[in-house]
Amino acid sequence: MYNQCSSVGPERCFMMRYEELVLYPEAKMRQLLTFLDIPWNSTVLRHETFIGEGKEIPLSDVEMSIEQVVKPINLDALNKWVGQFPADVVRDMAEIAPMLRRLGYDPRAEPPKYGKLDELVVRKMKEINENEIKWHDRANMLMVDPLRLDRPFNEIGNALW
């Protein structure tokens, strides 16, 4: 996909890194909507209010990311992978995955240094952390197989139930 996007050029393909979207959602969504020639609408920052049963955007029964998409913009997925790779893989990451460096990532950074958070993301993460059981219950209600959900944890990493 990177090569395809690069080959058609920035006037026809908008490249966006996932972590930039979740770290700086308003700025990145404004850029994307401008690129698409779509007027700005702040509802793009509140996707969770439109998703789920009886809402404007229904979810498929087989959707694998329900737990993530029913929550506000959040950072949960950014570091979920940290510590999951064996030491030898981390050590050899630059050789195993050369595309990381080409995309601007430090292949040896675990966790990566993402930079300063947007204030919107700080507020959304606080909301998620203060209402973890609510978000878990909402995802549970929408899932066909609720056993796939991670259990909610408090701020020090203890399961809430």
**CA 154 distance to own-chain centroid:** 20
**pTM score, whole prediction:** 0.70
Rounded Cα gap, residues 89 and 94, in angstroms? 9
Query: For the chain, which domains are there?
Result: 2-78+114-148 (3.40.50.300)
Which stretch of 38-47, 62-71, 74-83, 122-131 has the lowest confidence by average pLDDT? 62-71
Rounded Cα gap, residues 70 and 144, in angstroms? 15
- Residue 115 to residues 22, 112, 131, Cα–Cα distance (Å): 12, 9, 25
* 66 or 1, higher pLDDT: 1
Which stretch of 35-44, 66-75, 92-101 has the lowest confidence by average pLDDT? 66-75
pLDDT category of residue 102 using cuts at 50, 70 and 90: confident
